[in-house]
Amino acid sequence: MGTPVDPVDPAIMAALSAAADAPGYPLTMGSVALRGAMRAYLTRTSAAVGDFGVIPTVGSKELVAWLPTFLGLGAGDTVVIPEVCYPTYEVGAMLAGADVLRADSPPGVPAALVWINSPGNPHGRVTDLDEMRAWVAWARGCGAVLASDECYLSLPWEQTPISVLDPAVNDGDLTGLLAVQSLSKRSNLAGYRAGLIAGDPAIVRELLTIRKHAGLIVPDPVQAAMVAALGDEAHVEVQRERYRARRVIMRDGLEKAGFRIEHSTAGLYLWATRDEPGWDTTAWLADLGILVVPGAFYGPAGESFVRIALTASDERIAAAAERLG
């Protein structure tokens, strides 16, 4: 339903194993090698330039959940999240005691933090350049921190997503901007818990200080594995081609079965509907032995949809498509 099933690249596993004799405490900011690897990776894949801050995270979920709290948000503050989105954005706001406002375009009221997500989970919608720039302008106009969840950036299909770190989005100014990225889907490292946050160096420094005391530290062997993963694109392309092939098969099967696919132009999921309650669709597919997530899980606007992941094996994807026929 969303967890990677394909093998970890042997070079990444070798790097993890080679660093296993690690009796000392790891650096919260990341080793020298990891800091260099993260900077090179973001420069290469996200067009990041200049003096951006970057630190590793224990996967992306913990960062999403605790960012409002670590930014000092609380009662009376507002966190803007997409209409249909990853539930942890809302949970993170609740943990901080902040209010939540769902909006897919800049609202007419100020906020302290806004989450954008491109390609989106669950619907695979890509936020285009003009939309990204509008969000940045709005956030700066009201003094909000803008956090861009870019965990599926490496999976473009009909559209290519752009990072908030790109000067085309931010005009070379990272003030108030953060990008969250993950190796869970890019490199099949969900079990390693490996991610990063980058952007405004002043905010990243503040987060680093808090994370040191909170014990949110990536273990040394995982840091070594991250260096290997971030420095290699060949294994990423192999995995991308796996998902591309599964996507073609699954989409064809769904459309032949009468489903309509919306958005889904990048990312790991197909956002599908039969124009009925998503729970009814979920039950119908379950009777066929196909597990999906009802769209209502991601917000009221998703109630007539289901999210279908491409993370099942080739054999299971083929079997699901056959059952749909």
10-230, CATH topology level: Aspartate Aminotransferase; domain 2 (3.40.640)
Residue 325 and residue 257 in contact, taking contact as beta carbons nearer than 8 Å: yes
Percentage of residues in the chain having pLDDT higher than 70: 100
What gap in Å lies between CA 82 and CA 171, rounded to an integer?
24
The residue extents of the domains of the chain are 10-230, 234-324
Please state the separation of Cα 89 from the chain's center in Å.
11
State in words which class domain 234-324 has: alpha beta
pLDDT of residue 325: 85
Instruction: Output the average pLDDT for the chain.
Output: 97
Distance CA 122, CA 278 (A): 13
Residue showing tokens 């909170």: 214
Average pLDDT of 61-79?
98
Confidence of residue 14 (pLDDT cuts 50, 70, 90): very high
Q: Would you give the DSSP letter of residue 304? A: T
Q: What is the pLDDT averaged over residues 178-191?
A: 97
Can you tell me the mean pLDDT for 263-267?
A: 98
Q: What is the mean pLDDT of residues 285-294?
A: 97
- Per residue in 234-263, pLDDT (tens digit) is 999 999 999 999 999 999 999 999 999 999
Taking residues 217-232, report their average pLDDT.
98
- pTM to 2 decimals? 0.96
| β-sheet bridge partners, residue 218 | none
